[in-house]
Amino acid sequence: MMQQLSAEPGTDQQTTDDTVVRSEAATLVIQAASGDQGSWSRLVDHYARLVWAVTRSFRLSDSDAADVSQMVWLRLLEHIHRVDPERVGAWLVVTTRRECLRVLAFRKRVLLTYESAAFEGVPGDLPELDADLLADERAVDVRRALESLPDRWQQLLGMLMADPPAPYAEISATIGIPIGSIGPIRGRCLEKLRLLLAS
């Protein structure tokens, strides 16, 4: 009978300690919800090992476990006003488990393959279906813009864009522009062309 009485006070002491810990955590939740950054940091420090232990129990990789942990803290931050402060530990465990299951479900949908043949015939490098149509439309727009430039500028750009481009001395002799002016005039031509194409 005496042993039974001595066991009860120990149980009461443990219950009292749990209540004190819970009320400290609840206080941190309430203070963090009111915007206290220090309380938020202490709350994260207090439960970080619990969240990490749950993620590791799902055998997630370190990067996935870190992602889940980050997501759990984000969820708590988003819902801190709705979480019961006395049950924040249980909420974190449930939320962590759900995030772990979400990551595992996503991993099942991703099929990794190491066979190069699996990627042959995949139209990854092929142009879009309307690429030719868009290129033709762009070429027509450029031609129209070029035609609206003064004749001298059209001739200058034509000689500079030829393959191979004409030397500056030849351009100077043909068009009658000093060699030192070809670069600045080309710049003005291209700027005018950009404005015309943008409008």
| pLDDT band, very low/low/confident/very high, at 13 (cuts 50, 70, 90) | low
Amino acid identity of residue 10, one-letter, is: G
**Residue 150 φ/ψ, nearest 5 degrees:** -60, 150
The per-residue pLDDT for range 184-194, each reduced to its tens digit, is 999 999 999 88
Domains identified in the chain and CATH numbers: 20-109 (1.10.1740.10), 131-198 (1.10.10.10)
Sort residue 122 into left (φ over 0), alpha (ψ -120 to 50) or beta: beta
Start-to-end CA span in the chain (Å) = 96
Residue 95's nearest CA partner among 148, 55, 155 is 55
The per-residue pLDDT for range 75-121, each reduced to its tens digit, is 999 999 999 999 999 999 999 999 999 998 887 776 566 666 665 66
Nearest 5 degrees, angle CA 73-CA 41-CA 83? 45
Q: Is the pLDDT of residue 161 over 70?
A: yes
Read off the tokens for 140. Answer: 């027509």
The number of residues making up the chain comes to 199
Nearest 5 degrees, angle CA 68-CA 72-CA 75? 135
pTM beyond 0.75: no
Decide: 91 and 51 in contact? Cβ < 8 Å: no
In angstroms, the CA 185 to CA 177 distance is 9
The per-residue pLDDT for range 120-140, each reduced to its tens digit, is 665 666 666 677 888 888 889
180 CB-side CA count, 13 A: 0
